[in-house]
């Protein structure tokens, strides 16, 4: 009987758990370890953050789902992994205070990121920080409350400056910040106070619409246009100012300090700031049979799990080699350890990296969330099923082959709302197959903005919560 352990019930880990439980759970043991007892549908937090959806509509309890899907659930935090043969187990600090030892034959690390607010002094809502966040549900609720407080002040005629974007030179998840600033704009218009708000976008992107994927080129009505043009038009229409190519270096109570590509240092005043932090790997210890630290065989310096990618290539070589991206997300040293979602170490950036004359890196990190996470979770789960049943893996999908779609809400209303819909194929540009198209298939890659996107975003909320609860027909809904 095989024992499979998953650490982390985000999009990647939870998707994997559904497939593993469905295909292995009755004859083998599938165990999920998660520090929360609920699943959170993160894409809809953007509506929570402006007070347009209750937090409870974005979550559901994990235990009942796993009970139906033949998955054992342990509510707790994984702290140590012992990966050596003959004695492979995970140590877990359970929510009830007990310590558990969970043995495994196959391990999937899908922990999601550690929110490294500490990488930028003064950043974040915790430990005396001065900015807000949409990266965890408690943070989203706190952000909502502060935002609505400022709305009330604007209703009384007060002028407010809101700065939204990234809070570190190597932060990722620009899409979440873009959704937040777009929804803030729409909500302020709806509440009749938009003229009292100055909205500013502050980002580490090389250009608007880069989003850590080297931007997007699409074709519409026979004409090429770029994501930079797409987002610039949206910002101009909404009267949102922007500053890009900038690394936030610290934040105090009323100023954000930054430096830019040229090495110039400056400061931006603000009243309210929501800035995405740098992401790093979760702090798991990897301990060998003799008690030694074997983490260098499993994770990189940032704490992300090394898999079957080609590491150490310079950017130009990586850009020309889409096969450098992992296909099966398997650790090369401990081949029964896999990683999915943000937990896996990419072989390098997707957008061209940049370091300014001061030595400060200003480069959007590659995103590995949402649809990408779900796809990778499924690939890993099916390969573990293969290994258990057949002894060999048959599934693979690189990010340089993968299609991903993003629907960025610009207001929650189904009557006058809006959304930017972006479909990218592949996520990582493949310059070998599409050398004259920016590395993307222009037949598939698509960008548009309109009310239809708002309907699609709301439909996805209901559809994916249905799927992720493992309800009838869940497998026919794509990741």
Domain boundaries in the chain? 3-114+279-389
Tokens found for residue 471: 């309800």
Number of other CB atoms surrounding residue 81 within 10 Å: 23
Q: What pLDDT is recorded for position 252?
A: 97
Distant-in-sequence, close-in-space partners of 361: CB < 8 Å, separation ≥ 6: 169, 170, 247, 353, 354, 355
From residue 410, give the alpha-carbon distance in Å to each of 10, 164, 292.
24, 15, 50
Higher pLDDT, 449 or 162: 162
Distance CA 343, CA 329 (A): 10
Q: What is the mean pLDDT of residues 32-39?
A: 98
Per-residue pLDDT band at 419 (split at 50, 70, 90)? confident
pLDDT tens profile 343-392: 999 999 999 999 999 999 999 999 998 899 999 999 999 999 999 999 99
Cβ burial, residue 454 (10 Å; 0-12/13-18/19+): buried
Distance CA 412, CA 373 (A): 24
Q: What pLDDT is recorded for position 64?
A: 98
Q: What pLDDT is recorded for position 420?
A: 84
Per-residue pLDDT band at 221 (split at 50, 70, 90)? confident
Identify which of 381, 462, 479, 395 has the alpha carbon closest to the alpha carbon of residue 69.
381
Q: What is the mean pLDDT of residues 456-473?
A: 95
Distance CA 50, CA 291 (A): 49
From residue 293, give the alpha-carbon distance in Å to each of 84, 401, 433.
11, 35, 42
pLDDT tens profile 259-311: 999 999 999 999 999 999 999 999 999 999 999 999 999 999 999 999 999 99
pLDDT(73) > 80: yes
Mean pLDDT (the chain) is 95
Q: What is the mean pLDDT of residues 204-219?
A: 94
Fold of 3-114+279-389: FAD/NAD(P)-binding domain (3.50.50)
Identify which of 239, 273, 240 has the alpha carbon closest to the alpha carbon of residue 255.
273
pLDDT(334) > 90: yes
Q: What pLDDT is recorded for position 406?
A: 86
Q: What is the pTM of this model?
A: 0.96
Q: What is the mean pLDDT of residues 25-42?
A: 95
Pairing of strands 72-82, 29-34: parallel
DSSP secondary structure letter of residue 311: -
Q: What pLDDT is recorded for position 416?
A: 73
Distance CA 243, CA 187 (A): 22
Q: Please, what sign has the CA dihedral across residues 321, 327, 330, 335?
A: negative
Number of residues that make up the chain:
479
Q: What is the mean pLDDT of residues 306-324?
A: 97
Q: 367 and 171 in contact (C-beta within 8 Å)?
A: no
């Amino acid at each position: 009987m095989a024992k499979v352990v998953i650490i982390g019930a985000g999009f990647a880990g939870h998707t994997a758990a559904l497939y593993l439980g469905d295909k292995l759970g009755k004859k083998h043991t599938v165990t999920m370890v998660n520090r929360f007892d609920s699943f959170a549908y993160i894409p809809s937090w953007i509506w929570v953050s402006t007070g347009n959806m209750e937090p409870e509509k974005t979550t559901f309890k994990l235990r009942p789902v796993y009970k139906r899907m033949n998955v054992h659930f342990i509510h707790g935090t994984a702290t140590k992994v012992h990966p050596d043969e003959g004695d492979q187990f995970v140590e877990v600090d359970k929510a009830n205070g007990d310590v558990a030892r969970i043995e495994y034959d196959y391990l999937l690390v899908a922990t999601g990121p550690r929110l490294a607010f500490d990488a930028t002094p003064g950043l974040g809502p915790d430990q005396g920080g001065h900015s807000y966040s949409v990266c965890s549900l408690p943070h989203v609720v706190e952000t909502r409350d502060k935002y609505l407080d400022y709305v009330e002040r604007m209703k009384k005629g007060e002028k407010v400056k809101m700065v939204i974007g990234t809070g570190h030179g190597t932060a990722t998840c620009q899409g979440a910040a873009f959704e937040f600033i777009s929804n803030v704009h729409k909500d302020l218009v709806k509440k009749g106070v938009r003229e009292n708000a100055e909205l500013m976008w502050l980002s580490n992107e090389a250009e608007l619409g880069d989003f850590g994927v080297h931007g997007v080129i699409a074709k519409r009505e026979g004409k090429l246009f770029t994501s930079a043009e797409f987002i610039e038009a949206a910002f101009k229409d909404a009267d949102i100012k922007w500053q890009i190519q900038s690394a936030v270096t610290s934040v105090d109570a009323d100023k954000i300090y930054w430096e830019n590509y040229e090495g110039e240092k400056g400061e931006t005043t603000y009243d309210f700031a929501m800035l995405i932090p740098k992401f790093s790997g979760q702090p798991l210890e990897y301990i060998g049979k003799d008690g030694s630290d074997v983490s260098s065989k499993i994770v990189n310096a940032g704490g992300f799990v090394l898999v079957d990618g080609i590491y150490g290539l310079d950017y130009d070589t990586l850009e020309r080699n889409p096969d450098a991206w992992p296909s099966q997300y398997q650790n090369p040293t401990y081949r029964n350890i896999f990683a999915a979602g943000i937990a896996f170490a990419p072989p390098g950036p997707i957008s061209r990296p940049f370091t300014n004359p001061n030595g400060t890196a200003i480069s959007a990190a590659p995103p590995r969330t949402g649809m990408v996470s779900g796809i990778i979770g499924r690939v890993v789960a099916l390969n573990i099923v293969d290994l258990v049943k057949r002894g060999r893996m048959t599934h693979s999908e690189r990010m340089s082959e993968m299609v991903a779609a993003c629907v960025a809400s610009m207001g929650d209303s189904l009557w006058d709302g809006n959304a930017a819909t972006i479909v990218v194929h592949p996520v990582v540009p493949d310059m070998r197959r599409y050398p004259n198209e920016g590395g993307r298939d222009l037949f598939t890659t698509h960008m548009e903005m309109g009310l239809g996107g708002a309907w699609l975003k709301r439909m996805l909320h209901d559809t994916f919560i249905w799927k992720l609860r493992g309800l009838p027909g869940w497998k026919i809904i794509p990741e």
